Structure 1
Amino acid sequence: MTEALRLFGEQGFAKTSVAQIERAAGLSGGSGALYRHFKSKDELLVQAVDTRLNDRGEWEQFLAPSFSVAAVLDAIRPSSGTVDKIVALCGIGLARLDHDRDITRILLRDNSIPTPLLEVFRQQEYAVVMSMVTRGLVELADERAGEQDWDATAAVLVGALAHFWIMRDIFDGDHPAGIDTDRYLRATAEMIAARLDWADSEGEDPR
C-alpha cells in the first residue's frame, strides 16, 4: 500500500500499472501477485488511503471531544493575538497536508481516481478536519461567537490552505504569485480574524 500510494502520488492513478506496483513492492512485476491481496487496483487505492488517513499519529489528539484547540494555540503562541494564533492553526493544517503528500496529490491533482475514494476522503479526513477547525474558530471567538456561520468560515480556511499547498506542489515548491508561506498564512489569518471580529456586530453589515 505504501509503494502504491507513492506511485499514485507521483504518476497519477491511471498512469500507474499493477506491474509497476508489484515491482516497487518487491513482487514479480506482471505476475499478478498483487491480486492475492486486493481484488483490483481500485480496491488497493481505497484501502491504502483509508489506512493512511486513519493512522493520524500526532494529529490524533485533536480529535478528542474534550480537546481544546485554543489551548494548544495558546501553548504554541503564548501571549499572542488572534492573528498569530490563526497563523499557527494554518501551520498545523499545512503540516498535515505535507505529511500525507501522496494522498493530497491523489485527491487534489488526480481526476482519474475511483468515486468510492471520494467518500472515504469525505468521511475520514475532510469531515474530521472541518470539525476540528470549526471548533477551534469558535473557541478563538469565545464570547464573540454569536450566530456566525462557523462551518462556512472553516470551509474557507481549509480551502485556502489546500489551494496554497496544491499550487506550490504544482510549481515545484514555489507559489506562482511569488508569495511565500509566511505571507500567505498571515494574509489568510488576518481575513479570518476579521471574520471573528464581525461576530460582535450581532447581525449588522460588517462592511
Structure 2
Amino acid sequence: MTPSTRERIMTEALRLFGEQGFAKTSVAQIEQAAGLSSGAGGLYRHFRSKDELLVEAVSARLSERGAWEPLLAPNASIAAALAPSGSTVDKLTALCRIGLARMDHDRDVSRILMRDNSIPEGLLEVFRQQEYATVMRVITGVLTEAAGSTRREQDWEATAAVVAGAIAHYWLIRDIFDGAHPADVDPERYLRATAEMIAARLDRADHEEQDRG
C-alpha cells in the first residue's frame, strides 16, 4: 500500500530528526524529503507544529508492535512462544534477539531520545508509556514464568530493567561505532551471554528457594 502524505511526513521527519537532531531539522527539509514543495507549508496541513509532528511520529512508530505482538496476547505463555522446544537459555536468547531487533526498528526514536536534548516536553512520557512499559511487562513476564515457584521471592522487575538496559547499551554502542561493536563482539555472542547470565540468576533463585524449603 502506498503511504499517505501524512505517513511520508512522519517517516521522513523521524529519519531527519534521528540523523540531524530535532532542533537542526527544519520544516522545509522535512517537506522536501516527503516529496512536498519545500517551504510551501504543506506540512501544516497535517500537523500544527514540528513538536506535534515529532510526538505523533514517535507514537506511530512505537505502535508498530511487530515481533512483540504474540507476546502481548492475553493469557499467552510468553516463554513458550519464544522457543517452544528450547532450553531456558534458548528462550532468553530469543527474547533478547527480539529486543535488539526492536531497537533497530526504533532506531530513529532511540537516537532522538538518547542524543537530543532539544526534544519537546511530553515525548519521554510517550516513550515510557507506549514502549518501555511494554518491554518491561514482556521481560518481567518471561522471567516470572521461567522462575516458577520462586517468583514471589525475587525482584524480577528489577532484573527485567537490567536486561532491557543491557540490550539498549549494546545497540547504542554499535550505533555510535557505525554498526560495529568496539570489542568486536557480534550480536549473537552478546545476546547469548546475556541470556546465560539471566539463566544463572534464575538458577540461583531456585537454589535459594530450595534452601528455604
Aligned to 1:17: 26
Distance in 1 (CA, whole Å) between partners of 2:118 and 2:159 is: 30
Which string of whole-angstrom CA distances, capped at 9 and with x for unpartnered residues, describes residues 46-72 of structure 1? 011111111223422221221211111
CA gap of 1:152–1:203, structure 2 versus 1, over 3 A, is farther
Amino acid at match of 2:195: A
Aligned to 1:89: 95
Aligned to 1:98: 104
**Unpaired stretches in structure 2, ≥5 consecutive residues:** 1-9
**Unpaired stretches in structure 1, ≥5 consecutive residues:** none
Amino acid at match of 1:135: G
TM-score (norm 1): 0.90
Aligned to 1:120: 126
Does the 8 A contact of 1:137 with 1:154 survive in 2? yes
Which string of whole-angstrom CA distances, capped at 9 and with x for unpartnered residues, describes residues 112-163 of structure 1? 2112110000000000110011001111112332410011000000000001
**What RMSD, in angstroms, separates the aligned Cα atoms of the two structures?**
1.7
Aligned-residue sequence identity (percent) comes to 70
Aligned to 1:107: 113
Amino acid at match of 1:129: V
Aligned to 2:55: 46
Amino acid at match of 2:17: F
TM-score (norm 2): 0.88
Aligned match of 2:42 in 30, 33, 51?
33
Aligned to 1:8: 17
- Secondary structure in 2 matching 1:39: coil
After the TM superposition, which segments of 4 or more aligned residues of structure 1 sit over 3 Å from their partners? none
Which string of whole-angstrom CA distances, capped at 9 and with x for unpartnered residues, describes residues 57-106 of structure 1? 3422221221211111232xx2x322222111100111111122222222
1:162 matches 2:174: no
Amino acid at match of 2:187: T
Aligned match of 2:204 in 190, 195, 198?
198
CA drift at 1:203: 10
Does the 8 A contact of 1:7 with 1:16 survive in 2? yes
Does the 8 A contact of 1:144 with 1:197 survive in 2? no
CA drift at 1:188: 1.2
Distance in 2 (CA, whole Å) between partners of 1:111 and 1:197 is: 41
